[in-house]
């Protein structure tokens, strides 16, 4: 007996399961399906607002060095590579990387300019400058890349565009 009625005979429905079924949703997992620790985490997450969930995702990405958009980015890059392979080699490059090679002798001024062109915080801008060579802006248009390079070089930095 593998019918739906047979399954329902094995698992009697409680009120929560009946409500979920009536709403067309899958019934919630029993606490026996996952550990009690994970069950508590799920219950806590259910109570978060959308803003709090967004902050949680960002914190997890920073903590573990991962991206929630990784799968999307990989498929987008794969699609772009396939499209680029079919195109001719005569096409002009449209996006550029602005790379800070070194800050020069006016590190503080370069940090200030990094903050204005990237909207990074003070600590992040300082870390970027101290870790040079480092990408300042990725996927910048030709004009934007040239503007950023001019701004940073005026502050005393050495910059490359690739």
Contact 153, 110 (CB under 8 A): no
- Residue 102 CA to residue 133 CA, distance in Å, equals 6
Instruction: Name the residue with higher pLDDT: 87 or 24.
Output: 24
Six token digits for residue 19: 């409500």
pLDDT at 91: 64
Q: What percent of the chain has pLDDT over 70?
A: 65
Place of tokens 């005979």: 9
In the chain the first and final C-alpha atoms are separated, in Å, by: 66
pLDDT at 11: 45
Q: Is the pLDDT of residue 150 over 80?
A: yes
Confidence of residue 82 (pLDDT cuts 50, 70, 90): very low
Instruction: Give residues with Cβ within 8 angstroms of 97, minimum separation 6.
Output: 135, 137, 138, 139, 140, 145, 161, 162
Q: Please report, for residues 43, 143, 145, the alpha-carbon distance to residue 60 in angstroms, rounded to integers and kept in the order given.
A: 18, 35, 31
Confidence of residue 76 (pLDDT cuts 50, 70, 90): very low
Nearest to 129 by CA among 148, 146, 110: 110
| pTM exceeds 0.75 | no
Six token digits for residue 132: 């040079």
Q: What is the pLDDT of residues 14-61, one digit of tens each?
A: 555 555 555 555 555 554 578 999 899 889 988 988 888 888 888 887
CB count within 10 Å of CB 149 equals 23
pLDDT at 7: 44
DSSP assignment of 6-53 equals HHHHHS---HHHHHHHHTTPPPPPPTTTS-HHHHHHHHHHHT--HHHH
Q: Is the pLDDT of residue 143 over 80?
A: yes
């Amino acid at each position: 007996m593998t019918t739906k009625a047979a399954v329902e005979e094995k698992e009697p429905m409680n009120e929560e399961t009946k409500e979920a079924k009536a709403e067309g949703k899958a019934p919630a997992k029993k606490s026996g399906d996952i550990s009690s620790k994970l069950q508590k985490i799920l219950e806590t997450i259910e109570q978060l607002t959308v803003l709090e969930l967004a902050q949680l995702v960002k914190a997890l990405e920073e903590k573990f060095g991962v991206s929630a958009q990784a799968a999307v980015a990989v498929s987008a890059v794969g699609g772009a590579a396939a499209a680029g392979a079919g195109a001719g080699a005569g096409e002009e490059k449209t996006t550029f990387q602005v790379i800070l090679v070194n800050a020069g002798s006016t590190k503080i001024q370069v940090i200030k300019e990094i903050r204005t062109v990237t909207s990074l915080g003070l600590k992040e801008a300082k870390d970027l400058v101290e870790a040079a060579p480092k990408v300042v802006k990725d996927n910048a248009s030709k004009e934007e890349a040239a503007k950023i390079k001019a701004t940073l070089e005026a502050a005393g930095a050495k910059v490359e565009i690739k």
